[in-house]
Amino acid sequence: MFNFIPNRLALIVLISACSIILISMGLRQTFGLFFDAFEKGLGVTRTEFGLAIGIQMLFWGFFAPIFGLLADKFGGNKAVFLGFLIFALGIFMLYSGPNTGIYFQLALGVLVGTALGATAIGVPVSEVGKHFPNETRTIATGVVTAAASIGYFLSPLLTKYSLVEFEWEQTLKYFMIFIVLGLAISIFLLPAKTAINSSQADRDQTFLSAIKEAFSHKGYVLLVLGFFVCGFQITLVGTHIPGYMQDRGMAGWSATIILALIGFFNIFGTLGMGYLGTKYKKKNLLSILYALRALSICVFIFSPPSMLNSIIFGITFGLLWLSTVPPTNGIVAQIFGTKYLSTLFGIVFLCHQFGAFAGAFLGGYFFDTYGSYDYAWYMAIALSILATIVHYPIDETRLVRVDNTL
């Protein structure tokens, strides 16, 4: 079907991962659209809503390496299946009650966040990476990440329509249908039969030695720090863009259009970055990407609010949205191999979620404290400049391990 697909198992896993991430990331992208309904229906303040999303991001991050280890040891299908069960529990609790106060934080924050640790980005992308050689890995992971973009594009439109026509409780019931579908699809996220491009020393490596090796590598540490910035920026936008547009007098469908455009153009961004990752150094692509993010945000917040400005931001930031994932995952696999790829990328993603927590919480906090999101946007620009700098020194050279059994 595609000449870069090595075998039938790789194709099955690729299709399964695309479907899983489309569902999980598509649903996750829409939570920002619920803030008005939760505010009116449950009495949730913006700070409380931002805190719940921030907790969600943290638990997503904390459980990404845990589910990554489960996937490395027992198979990605088992890890993702468990994740969707937890996802279903969180959504069921959110619409059926109790769903106020601490229970709101538990449902939307803890349970949904834990589920995302298995179902979103980390495990599906890394499991696909195990089936493809280094020469085509960024293309394969780019395809999976692009599937999230389809969810990003469709979910905000469908969710906004459902919220208007059927209100938030019924909308969450529809979410449950997609989660059950994800449960069935996760069964086909099968492990690779053999590790690709690995030596006996690679296959014999233990979990603890892999962790020690990674954190003794300067490039891995820089990659971890850089991914913090990605988390801060995309969660600030995904969570608070509806409130920001309302604050600028652009309420209604403007935020939905931005989120939908981000999802649509992210398809081209991730596929393009996946292809470029086979031609150029991935660390340089990441530096350029973060520099362009800073430019996109500056144009957006310093230009007069208008639908045209919103569309431009949706397109430009969409091209840069999840484009960080293929080169970041690719660098980890290229340096350390694929045996513990889900775990090591999960740890990188944990720092991403620390940034996501900061973006979600500080966006709401700055608004409630100062009546404006401006300080959060200024932080996003400064962090982009930092990320542009820290990715450049990364050494992508493959580590060669010595087989001590010889």
The residue-averaged pLDDT of 230-257 equals 85
Q: How many domains does the chain have?
A: 1
The two three-digit tokens of residue 215, written as one number: 């954190």
Does some domain include residue 130?
yes
Higher pLDDT among residues 257 and 230, named by residue: 230
Q: How many CB atoms lie within 10 A of CB 385?
A: 13
In angstroms, the CA 231 to CA 131 distance is: 27
Query: pLDDT for 114-153, tens place per residue?
Result: 999 999 888 999 899 888 888 888 888 889 988 888 887 7
What is the rounded average pLDDT of the residues 334-348?
A: 88
Assign 41 a pLDDT band (cuts: 50, 70, 90): confident
In a domain, 39, yes or no: yes
* 395 domain residue, yes or no: no
pLDDT in tens, 186-209: 999 998 776 665 556 566 678 888
> 145 — phi, psi (to 5°)?
-65, -35
Share of the chain above pLDDT 70, in %: 95
**Contact (Cβ atoms closer than 8 angstroms) between residue 324 and residue 201:** no
Would 199 be classed as within a structural domain? no
pLDDT digits over 51-92, tens only?
888 888 889 889 989 999 999 889 999 999 999 999 999 999
**In the prediction, which pLDDT does 118 show?**
94
In a domain, 401, yes or no: no
**pLDDT recorded at residue 2:** 47
Q: Percentage of residues in the chain with pLDDT exceeding 90?
A: 46
The CATH number of the domain where 374 resides is what?
1.20.1250.20
- How confident is the model over 23-44, as a mean pLDDT? 85
pLDDT in tens, 261-295: 888 898 899 999 989 988 999 999 999 999 999 99
The verdict on residue 277 lying in a domain is: yes
Q: Is 36 within the bounds of a domain?
A: yes
Across all residues in the chain, what is the average pLDDT? 88
Q: How far is CA 166 from CA 20, 170, 234, 373, in A?
A: 26, 6, 28, 30
pLDDT at position 180 is 96
pTM: 0.79
Cα 49 from Cα 287, distance rounded (Å) = 32
Whether residue 251 has pLDDT greater than 80:
no
Q: Are 339 and 120 in contact (CB under 8 A)?
A: no
Any domain includes 3: no
pLDDT at 371: 87
Look up the domain containing 308 and give its range: 9-189+206-390
Using the predicted structure, report yes or no on whether residue 404 has a pLDDT greater than 70. no
